[in-house]
Amino acid sequence: MMNISVQNLNMTYPTGKIALRDISLDIKSPNLIGLLGPNGAGKSTFMNLLTAGLLPTGGSILLDGEPLVHKEKKLKSKLGYLPQSFGLYDELTVWQFLDYMAALKGIRDNKKDIERVIQETNLKDKRKARIRTLSGGQRQRVGIAQALLGNPELLIFDEPTVGLDPEERISFRNLFSKNAQDKIVLLSTHIIEDVQSVCNRLIAINHGKILFDGTPEQLILSAQGHVGLLENQQEEQGFKVTARVNTANGVHYRIVAKQLPFGAQVVEPTLEDAYMYLIGKEGDKQ
């Protein structure tokens, strides 16, 4: 069982940019957490702090009750991490690269483990291929595979489904879900579909602050009565169009708003509607 406690976490870059403001939350295993937020919201900074790639400028992160700064080695021994942007050793084959990463992780009997992650990430055909010959999606799969090596207790994926085709995305969602049965999986994304069906907890961040921390159902519930359909395009005032739907009766517009405009037909919100509503609401405050 792993327990991560984040207390009043602040992060300001030397340039003066404030990335995180006073974040507090607890994460316990098992858990599959979706971290949502627009680009530049502070998701990657948060993940970097959780993986000890950055030191916070304020607050603390406790790993099983002890400050992370003193338990870095312990964290790294239990961590599988896929950063948003990463490089691989192009001259190695997929198998050699995973062997290298497994060896860095100190995994004994790494052959079995490598076979397992190759299987799970559908890289069986590419195991002997040089990394330089792989497509973007295949490289992403190698990145995910290396994170899964050693069956770590904490898996952190930063935009893991970028570059994957729809079929692969579904397959990986299921893989994350399966892994989350006995560990913590933290999934950062701005693709709502990725988290909708699998995450049991969502954390939405914007401008370095937590806007929401709860279940997907709670997020959907928070948008009840704020999502509607408009038959005709109106001047966009006080609402945000989330989709343009072609129907037999013409084009319908799906909108979210604090107060739906006159004539809008209230509909059941989706997770994406709820997220848009949440972000939009925050935008209005700003």
Partner 1 sequence: MSFFSYIKVETSRIFQSKSTWLVMVLTLLCPLIGYSVHQTAVTATTASFVLANPVLAGGLGGGILFALLALYEFDRVYKYHTDALTESITSPLLLGGAKLISLLAAALVTTVAASVLYLPYTVYRMGVVFNFLEYLDCFFILMLPSLWLSILATTAFYQMIRRVDLSFVLFAVFTFFSLSPWAESEYILRWINPLVPGLSDDFSNGIIFRTAVYNRLFWLSILSGIWFLGLLCVRNYRKGLFGSFTHNVRKAYLLELSIAFLCFGVYLYHAEPYIDHSPAKIYGSGVGGTQTIVAMDSPYAEENSNLTLVSTQLETDIEASRSRLKSTAVYQLKNSSGKPQECILQINPGYTIDHITANGEAVSFTDKKNDHEHMKDIAVSLPSEEEIRLEVRYEGYPKIWSETRRHLSGHKIEKDYVELGGIHLRPVINASDEGAGVTGEITLPSELELISSGKTAQVIQVNTDGTKTWRIDDPSGSASLFAGNYVKKELSGSVAPIYFYYSQKHENKMEKLEIEQILENTITYCTNQFGPLGYTEVEPFSILETAGHMFGGGSSGNLNIMDESHFSEDGFINFHSGATIADSISTEIIQTWWLQGAMVMDAENSDWTNGGLSVYAAYRMAKEMYGEGYAIENHVKEWEKAWSNMNRNFYVRHPEYANILPEKYIADLQVEFSTIRTHAGMALKVYKAAQLIGEDKMDAVLTELYQNGGTEHPPFITWHDFLNACGLKEEELNIDEAI
Interface with partner 1 by CB under 8 A: which residues? 14, 48, 51-55, 72, 76, 79, 81, 83, 85-92, 96, 100-101, 103-106, 143, 146
SS3 label, residue 196: helix
CA 65 to chain centre: 24
Query: Toward partner 1, which CB reaches closer, 80 or 280?
Result: 80
Query: Toward partner 1, which CB reaches closer, 101 or 185?
Result: 101
Query: Toward partner 1, which CB reaches closer, 55 or 243?
Result: 55
The secondary structure of the chain in percent helix, strand, coil, rounded to multiples of 5, reads: 35, 30, 35
Query: Toward partner 1, which CB reaches closer, 65 or 106?
Result: 106
How far is it, in rounded angstroms, from Cα 186 to Cα 81?
10
* Partners of 18 in beta bridges: 12
Least distance in Å: CB of 200 to partner 1? 25
Least distance in Å: CB of 39 to partner 1? 18
How far is it, in rounded angstroms, from Cα 43 to Cα 179?
21
CA dihedral 169, 218, 11, 38 (to 10 degrees): 50
Least distance in Å: CB of 96 to partner 1? 6
How far is it, in rounded angstroms, from Cα 102 to Cα 106?
6
Least distance in Å: CB of 14 to partner 1? 7
Least distance in Å: CB of 213 to partner 1? 25
Query: Toward partner 1, which CB reaches closer, 53 or 67?
Result: 53
